[in-house]
Structure 1
Amino acid sequence: MKIAFQLSIHFGLLIFVSCYGGDGYDPLENALKIQLSKRLVPNHETNEYHSAEYSNSPVYMGPQDGLKDVDKISSLPGQPAGTDFDQYSGYVTIDPNHGRALFYYLAESPVNSSTNPLVLWLNGGPGCSSFGNGAMMELGPFRVNADNTTLSRNKYAWNNVANVLFLESPAGVGFSYSNTSSDYITGDMQTAKDSYTFLMNWLERFPEYKTRDFYITGESYAGHYVPQLAQLILQKNKITNQTVINLKGIALGNAYVDYETLKTGLYDYFWTHAIISDEIHEGIISNCNFSEGATITDACIDYQYQAYAAKSNIFFYDIYAPLCSPFNTSTPSISVFDPCTENYILGYLNTPYVQQALHAKPIKWESCSGLIGAHWKDMPLTVLPVIQNLMASGINVWIYRQVNIICAGDTDGRVSVTTSRYSINKLQTSVKVPWYPWMNQGEVGGYVVGYENLTFVTIRGAGHFVPSYQPGRALAFFTSFLKGKLPANH
């Protein structure tokens, strides 16, 4: 218990904080710390990923007649004139006995919506909003202006080439809720099952998408959500007499998939990007073993504390980005990310008439729920075996990263490019297409390497939230992903 206590003291557990990465809040680190403290307790259940339990559990199906029309958004407050695509949002009940319902937002394509694929987007945390962070800050059709009231069109939105479905999951995140408070004590397994139940019911509400090509994308802790949900879909497709979901591929951005490589990559990244000293880096190498089951020494904890202290108050999710200033009142540009964007979104989504237009329950909306992360039950320290299974299944598996425009490094300090490369090395898959630069609008958009059943792509000049920092390059990468082709080198 001494180590668990020290972890809490050194890294500071911030439970009720709304900003994703703001004010030093790091939902992934907090959740990892709690999981590790649990594993230090004798006979604690580690909650391994039980695929059999997933596939055998029943799926609730509720009545959906007429709900699509109810969910259609006539207009979002402050949206620009000339909006030329349909939007829907609302709730899908996944457990009527508990009163558990998940909130979604669908942005259909302005062109070819009847034939374009359906893409599910999931943000991570755990506990962070796919609608507020994903749709409003990253890849959705609108950005919130600095007045907290009006919206600007994002010309690089992913609904240009796909119908994009944003899901707030699990219950307790964003606008999603449950009438049973114990549902807020959840984890990986329940999140996957609830997301699958949501999809099955949502497809009954929107039957035109039942046979459409389907992709799952997400970032950060969605490195757990996406492959776990994909595996569950493939299992259910074999045994169910209900809708077969036409899963074609998954894409993981800045994804946490393996604890050991997350930690080793993090501190190697800190060192190679001049954030920590040689002495701190050497202290971590000499005293820390991040493999599962290894002893966490006091010296290792102390050196990690020194590393975080040395990092100081840079924005962890993009180490070269400016911090949000209280004097910043300018309208955010799509090509240059405004560090105060989360504040604008927070103001907009907490406006009563905005919540009413979204068909959302009137609540205090938050970017991230620290409560959810603080009570996370099961979190496998690696999902690489799940990814290996998906690679063998034949679906398209892409991992994308962000690389600094100045040097061969990453601007995201949370889940570094070094971490992703270490994780891929653990998969021990062979190279089919050697590393090369891919081009976008006459410049290097990033770099790509094609492995056996896996693609690794970097996006140059972006931080943790890829489409926020480099929207044009992100859209170009995403378009290639949907086509199943590597980004062009010319």
Structure 2
Amino acid sequence: MAKTSLILFSQLLFHYMLLSFVVFTHSATESALVTQIPGFSGTFPSNHYSGYVTIDESHGKSLFYYFVESEGNPSKDPVVLWLNGGPGCSSFDGFVYEHGPFNFEAAKTKGGLPTLHLNPYSWSKVSNIIYLDSPAGVGLSYSKNLTDYITGDTKTALDSHTFLLKWFELYPEFLSNPFFIAGESYAGVYVPTLAYEVVKGIDAGTKPILNLKGYLVGNGVTDNVFDGNALVPFAHGMGLISDELYEEVTNNCKGNFYNLNSETCDSKLAKVDKDIEDLNIYNILEPCYHDTEMRQNTDINIRLPSSFQQLGETDRPLPVRTRMFGRAWPFRAPVREGRVPTWPELLNSNSVPCTDDEVATAWLNDAAVRKAIHADEVSIAGSWEICTDRIDFSHDAGSMIKFHRNLTLRGYRALIFSGDHDMCVPYTGSEAWTRSLGYKIIDEWRPWTSNGQVAGYIQGYENNLTFLTVKGSGHTVPEYKPREALDFYSLFLAGKKI
């Protein structure tokens, strides 16, 4: 009898200790649980958490995240970190306008809040997903030490890695899940540089050990030569410039369209600019939205301040004729080493061309919304902007090709996808640099389908590298083609053939 009692007591003690452990592991995130959001009256299909992770206590440097648990099997489904680009653009761009759990319907009355509906194509259908505002100074992330707003590729990757290590300490139950890093536009730099830092941490045995499996990059900047030379062939292939002009610009520029080398070349490229200047840079099929501020700044011949200009062989300042900032560093002024100027420095405007961000701006600057998602007040964290000029950012990581080669040769899976009607980061550049790696083709160029229709084209290479186009899509694929995006995303995460 005494032995039976001892066994029962031991079992009760074990269950009590187990319960205590479960409470402890979740206690750190109880305060991060989002229980309701202004504008949404339904029931969340999965748990949502949000708040700050302080990555530098001495500076008060805090990065904001919004975490959506999978609507499928959160304990087993992959964890995906999502990053928008810019640099300087908030990942709430992806949350509000692309693949977040809600679709946002604009307020019917002036000054009102948008109405939220469940998004049937949310990426949380098949994955746990973290939306991170990075670096500090972007979106809802901030630092009490303003020197932290002077940053660049390398520092951003280090800070985001620190965030991940601390985040997984807060959510240790997700450590065993497959982990992926994803992003678009200038996140074509953020994603591979961060993945590289994560891999270095794994090699060094840095705890906690992250279960990195791969990464995804959509319409991502990569390399100044490949991306810089992508626009002219894209414009010709899309019928935006004539055969005659294409031949003239090719002959006069000798195939080098990004680093101007002669006045004749310059004049021919100016004709290209003239032909395409009124198109929506992010999707040539769509109309271009202009707010009042942007209508007053329509000159295509933007010139960089002298401190940002790249000098040619004759040491004369080179003009940057483009409106392609906003969600991505522009081309034909491709990603070069050095400081990346902001919109206000180029256009005397805080607006992003052809982008209507009014819904997200109204929602994320509302005091009740901020309280609900545990974001600090405007007086502390600043106003939310889709793309900020608060940071002073330098591109200091060079070409991303070396990062992609390193990661894929080590076995990490990579999906490089492109909306084929994006003129900001044309698919022609992404197709060219993926081919330049010299990997053997193991899945020859072919159509892939969604909902019974051809949704784009795909080419698979050895070393787990895949290039994919999305037919008729612009710069932000999940925004323009949500069903198709969820389809290829789901298949890639599951390791299945697209």
TM range (shorter): 0.7 to 0.9
Is the 1:118–1:164 Cα contact (8 Å) retained in structure 2?
yes
Identify if the C-alpha distance between structure 1 residues 388 and 291 changes in structure 2 by more than 3 Å, giving closer, same or farther.
farther
Q: 2:399 aligns with which of 382, 390, 410?
A: 382
Q: 2:40 aligns with which of 59, 67, 79?
A: 79
Is the 2:26–2:171 Cα contact (8 Å) retained in structure 1?
no
Identify if the C-alpha distance between structure 1 residues 296 and 117 changes in structure 2 by more than 3 Å, giving closer, same or farther.
same
Distance 2:115 2:459 in 1: 41
SS of the equivalent of 1:186 reads strand
Distance 2:258 2:114 in 1: 50
Aligned AA (2:472): G
Distance 1:346 1:294 in 2: 36
Aligned AA (1:390): L
Residue in structure 1 matched with residue 410 of structure 2 by the alignment: 393
Give unmatched runs, 5+ long, in structure 1: 1-62, 328-338, 403-409
Aligned AA (2:455): G
Shift of 1:285: 2.7
Distance 2:254 2:389 in 1: 28
Q: Does 1:436 align with 2:450?
A: no
Is the 2:81–2:132 Cα contact (8 Å) retained in structure 1?
yes
SS of the equivalent of 1:68 reads helix
Residue in structure 1 matched with residue 330 of structure 2 by the alignment: none
Shift of 1:455: 0.8
Q: Which structure has the bigger radius of gyration?
A: 2
Is the 2:138–2:390 Cα contact (8 Å) retained in structure 1?
no
Q: Does 1:178 align with 2:140?
A: no
Q: 2:60 aligns with which of 92, 99, 117?
A: 99
**1:323-338 superposed matches below 5 A:** 323-324=288-289
Is the 1:144–1:341 Cα contact (8 Å) retained in structure 2?
no
Aligned AA (2:76): T
Q: 2:277 aligns with which of 307, 312, 316?
A: 312
Distance 2:99 2:212 in 1: 21
Q: 1:485 aligns with which of 465, 474, 496?
A: 496
Identify if the C-alpha distance between structure 1 residues 142 and 73 changes in structure 2 by more than 3 Å, giving closer, same or farther.
same
Q: Does 1:354 align with 2:369?
A: yes
Q: Does 1:264 align with 2:229?
A: yes
**Deviations, residues 366-412 of structure 1 (Å, cap 9, x unaligned):** 0001343xx3223344110110001101011111122xxxxxxx211
Identify if the C-alpha distance between structure 1 residues 111 and 424 changes in structure 2 by more than 3 Å, giving closer, same or farther.
closer
Distance 1:470 1:294 in 2: 33
Give unmatched runs, 5+ long, in structure 2: 1-23, 108-112, 293-353
Is the 2:283–2:473 Cα contact (8 Å) retained in structure 1?
yes
**1:33-72 superposed matches below 5 A:** 66-72=27-33
Residue in structure 2 matched with residue 370 of structure 1 by the alignment: 389
Q: Does 1:191 align with 2:191?
A: no
Aligned AA (1:347): A
TM-score (normalizing by structure 2): 0.76
Q: Does 1:452 align with 2:413?
A: no
Shift of 1:236: 1.0
Q: 2:98 aligns with which of 135, 138, 155?
A: 138
Is the 1:289–1:295 Cα contact (8 Å) retained in structure 2?
no
Q: Does 1:343 align with 2:303?
A: no
SS of the equivalent of 2:52 reads strand
Q: 2:425 aligns with which of 415, 419, 425?
A: 415
SS of the equivalent of 1:139 reads coil
Shift of 1:110: 2.1
RMSD: 2.4
Residue in structure 1 matched with residue 166 of structure 2 by the alignment: 201
Aligned AA (1:95): D
SS of the equivalent of 2:281 reads coil
Is the 2:260–2:266 Cα contact (8 Å) retained in structure 1?
no
Is the 1:260–1:290 Cα contact (8 Å) retained in structure 2?
no
TM-score (normalizing by structure 1): 0.78
Shift of 1:310: 2.5
Shift of 1:300: 4.3
SS of the equivalent of 2:53 reads strand
Is the 1:289–1:296 Cα contact (8 Å) retained in structure 2?
no
SS of the equivalent of 1:140 reads coil
SS of the equivalent of 2:468 reads strand
Is the 1:111–1:160 Cα contact (8 Å) retained in structure 2?
yes
Distance 1:294 1:342 in 2: 33
Is the 1:89–1:359 Cα contact (8 Å) retained in structure 2?
yes
**Deviations, residues 113-150 of structure 1 (Å, cap 9, x unaligned):** 1211101111111111112x111110111122111421
Distance 2:256 2:390 in 1: 27
Is the 1:348–1:354 Cα contact (8 Å) retained in structure 2?
yes
Distance 1:326 1:108 in 2: 36
Q: 1:210 aligns with which of 165, 169, 175?
A: 175
Shift of 1:288: 4.0
SS of the equivalent of 1:376 reads strand
Is the 2:213–2:413 Cα contact (8 Å) retained in structure 1?
yes
Identify if the C-alpha distance between structure 1 residues 356 and 442 changes in structure 2 by more than 3 Å, giving closer, same or farther.
same
Is the 2:405–2:437 Cα contact (8 Å) retained in structure 1?
yes
Residue in structure 1 matched with residue 87 of structure 2 by the alignment: 126
Q: 1:425 aligns with which of 431, 435, 438?
A: 435
SS of the equivalent of 2:368 reads helix
Aligned AA (2:103): R
Q: 2:238 aligns with which of 273, 282, 300?
A: 273
Identify if the C-alpha distance between structure 1 residues 294 and 322 changes in structure 2 by more than 3 Å, giving closer, same or farther.
closer
Distance 1:69 1:136 in 2: 24
Distance 1:183 1:292 in 2: 35
Distance 2:60 2:252 in 1: 48
Residue in structure 1 matched with residue 77 of structure 2 by the alignment: 116
Distance 2:53 2:440 in 1: 42
Percent identical pairs in the alignment equals 38
Is the 1:263–1:290 Cα contact (8 Å) retained in structure 2?
no
Aligned AA (1:395): Y
Is the 1:80–1:153 Cα contact (8 Å) retained in structure 2?
no
Identify if the C-alpha distance between structure 1 residues 450 and 340 changes in structure 2 by more than 3 Å, giving closer, same or farther.
closer
Distance 2:471 2:429 in 1: 16
Shift of 1:83: 2.2
